[in-house]
A and B are shown apart, each in its own frame.
Chain A
């Protein structure tokens, strides 16, 4: 595994950037002046610090890539990614998944048929068994989606795209264990979020608003004229667009809920009877449905303006207003800055980003470019505390870059144990993005336990549960770092700890537990 890896280890001096000293200098890689001003990222250590922030963590191959293209060009490539191949065994795993082979409506119709079949069973024991099998199948579909997400995060060259996919999945959060969302979450990530993660915010917003996963999770499928359910309407403004202080009222929530009536999805291929004069308004796209029978056709007063009762076009009209609202520009920009720069980003930076968000009509990549080119961003590198997802994924990228994992189940388990499981946030606000939520005593203790598990080398990760105890399976993190340069990036206390390691596995424990590895 370590041929190319060892060669690149000289570059890894940026991996742990917390306590960098002048000892870590690398002469390669002429900087490009993409930012227009002073050349940045002129040292290998700074390029790797950059990698640690805009990727899920430094890997040998990403270190190669940034040295080959130069930092500024690498940033551009990440902002405007072209489709890139995954390692063949990883791609084969994904291709073999049910969620890769079936469309969402096919899956949903099938799952629903099965659910009804279970309810029809009379014999209690048989029914219980069928119920359990049905639940297991849903869980399996959710795990496929989570596995695919981990595999792409670890192995895709388009790392910023993958991080942004997680970011938006978290922003437009759904909880997989609500009802049958497990059967939907793979498609939600694949077709509503990922294609637009660096695209236009309005498109992304529209895709989430028409996706069964969102409509189910926030109960809009239940929202009908005279049987109003406000849940989605409220979160659409508070969490997805304007933000809590974005300038809307309880009346706006109620009116938006009326706009959203009839927006839902179906679980069978059957088309409902629609009253004749509204038949032209009926919409079905895959499982998505707009049902005029359930829609409130009255006019609405939303954010101070009339929305004429017209059917599904009302949804587009209000989403246009929300996506282009100045509060949305600020709210989204700030959240991006928190994720990619600092827990309390400078207001001035957020303002610059928001201006670009507005002038580019919500171009996410353009907004991010302002952030990535800012001096505030460069100054912040190495100072963000990794949340559990960053922690686990960066460890996997460090240890298993060239040895594709065949079974992500352990990674999913670790994330659950640290309280940040994929699609596991019950509430629509998504996981918190700041250090305070993840660096408490209990979190730190849990993290060291996970470090211990990763460090020991888990055969199960490589697809062989039987060899998990073999010492040959321990990732050789120390072999790489002993090459001398990584050492110089570590604080004296961390080096002292590493010297006390009694085995390769224990060296790994200390390295993965070090303060340097906790930051990005």
Chain B
């Protein structure tokens, strides 16, 4: 009951400089993009605990140099934390504009250290003490809780677990967008074949999304045919996602792979640095392309777990536990490291190997969603059953 009262208070509190309150549930202008880094990215080399001598002991070959000690050193955010230099041009400006915050020690209590189990756990977002229902992902439940005002889409080849559930969520990967070979007449004939089958809604949705995307992409395609240089990789995807999320879609999901760095992950430069650089560039492009709508947009970057705090024998890292999540958006209260923290030292490691999880992700997201959408306790309970939401005042 206490929690509910608190939530009510938050939801009702007037004028607390919460831009998102203006766009609460009814209007649908609030936008959410969840970016899932599959593979367990090495958070400790992204948000670098530069104040910890233990960090430098534990990673003799792959640590990011202390700020000011080298040309490619970590960028100091405060006395304790620094940012990987690969995102200097892309993410640092967002952080400085207070449009980006980090939540260290974030993740799930799930402890298998299996990519798949842990990804599933996060995407389902269900209580751990009961059998998992694989047809109910947390983003689908959010879309359902927002009822008529949500319009969700997965920018992936397949609908991710997070979007499985009662709301039919379409998917469309945006790496390659082609003009369809099935013409309008054929589209109608095919849709008719499925009208009375269980696949009917998926078929119709697919055609609608296909046409919608094509319409919205036509400008980009025209531009691309004139311009010599067009972005590639994740930046291209991110720009396309922005095109669609400026328009009809207000809840999106995309995943980015390639983070399972068991071997030769590099330090200030190298494999992981390149991945981070691309990701950072993509997110900065997304923010820019959202234009005005960026002010109503929140991007959440998650990953299934962090990696071992110590480097392994192959200058890589193995599966760990706590991670660092990112929250970005034009209207957020960023430029800070949010959530519960402990000093980074041997004694605070989880099982003497990983970051602990102090900011359970469902609690963090519940707090975030409550403020973004002005969700009632009942709506919140639908998204994350039995979760005590944690208020980090990020929006």
Residues of A whose CB lies within 8 Å of any CB of B are 219, 222, 224, 226-231, 234, 238-239, 244, 250, 253, 418-419, 426-427, 429, 432, 436-445, 448-449, 452-453, 491, 493-494, 496-497, 500, 506, 509-510, 513-515, 518
Identify the closest chain B residue to A447 (Cβ). B206
- Closest approach, in angstroms, between the C-beta of B176 and any C-beta of chain A? 8
Given the complex of chains A and B, what is the CA–CA distance between A427 and B304 in angstroms?
A: 14
Residue B248 lies at the interface, judged by CB distance under 8 Å to chain A: no
CB contacts (< 8 Å) of A426 on chain B: these are 257-258
Q: Do B114 and A234 touch across chains, with their CB atoms under 8 A apart?
A: yes
CB contacts (< 8 Å) of A445 on chain B: these are 172, 180, 206-207, 209-210
CB contacts (< 8 Å) of A244 on chain B: these are 112, 114, 116-117
Task: Give the dominant DSSP class at A's interface.
Answer: helix
Cβ 8 A contact of A444, one of B115, B189, B203: B203
Q: Do B199 and A227 touch across chains, with their CB atoms under 8 A apart?
A: no
Given the complex of chains A and B, what is the CA–CA distance between A238 and B197 in angstroms?
A: 37
Q: Do B158 and A229 touch across chains, with their CB atoms under 8 A apart?
A: no
| Number of residue pairs spanning A and B whose beta carbons lie under 8 angstroms apart | 146
Given the complex of chains A and B, what is the CA–CA distance between A73 and B52 in angstroms?
A: 70
Residue B336 lies at the interface, judged by CB distance under 8 Å to chain A: no
Q: Do A441 and B313 touch across chains, with their CB atoms under 8 A apart?
A: no
CB contacts (< 8 Å) of B135 on chain A: these are 436
Residue B377 lies at the interface, judged by CB distance under 8 Å to chain A: no
Q: Do B192 and A493 touch across chains, with their CB atoms under 8 A apart?
A: yes
CB contacts (< 8 Å) of A453 on chain B: these are 181
CB contacts (< 8 Å) of A493 on chain B: these are 192-196
In the complex, which of the residues A227, A444, A510, A513 has the most CB atoms of chain B within 10 Å of its own CB atom?
A444
Known: A228-B312, A496-B192, A497-B192. A441 touches B319 (CB 8 A): no
Known: A219-B263, A439-B199, A515-B194. A427 touches B115 (CB 8 A): yes
Q: How would residues 257 to 297 of chain B score, 1 for a CB under 8 Å from any chain A CB and 0 otherwise?
A: 11000110000000000000000000000000000000000
Cβ 8 A contact of B209, one of A432, A436, A438, A441: A441
Identify the closest chain B residue to A437 (Cβ). B158
Query: 10 nearest interchain CB pairs?
Result: A227-B313, A441-B206, A419-B157, A445-B206, A441-B205, A442-B171, A441-B170, A440-B159, A452-B181, A444-B206
Given the complex of chains A and B, what is the CA–CA distance between A429 and B304 in angstroms?
A: 15
Residue B88 lies at the interface, judged by CB distance under 8 Å to chain A: no
Given the complex of chains A and B, what is the CA–CA distance between A190 and B303 in angstroms?
A: 36
- Closest approach, in angstroms, between the C-beta of B215 and any C-beta of chain A? 15
Q: Do A231 and B171 touch across chains, with their CB atoms under 8 A apart?
A: no
- Closest approach, in angstroms, between the C-beta of A506 and any C-beta of chain B? 7
- Closest approach, in angstroms, between the C-beta of B218 and any C-beta of chain A? 18
Given the complex of chains A and B, what is the CA–CA distance between A57 and B170 in angstroms?
A: 29
Identify the closest chain A residue to B164 (Cβ). A436
Given the complex of chains A and B, what is the CA–CA distance between A228 and B313 in angstroms?
A: 6
Residue B8 lies at the interface, judged by CB distance under 8 Å to chain A: no
Q: Which of B181-213 contact A (CB under 8 A)?
A: 181-182, 186, 189-190, 192-197, 199, 202-203, 205-207, 209-210
Identify the closest chain A residue to B156 (Cβ). A442
Q: Do A229 and B318 touch across chains, with their CB atoms under 8 A apart?
A: yes
Residue B113 lies at the interface, judged by CB distance under 8 Å to chain A: yes
Q: Do B182 and A509 touch across chains, with their CB atoms under 8 A apart?
A: yes
CB contacts (< 8 Å) of B189 on chain A: these are 497, 500, 510
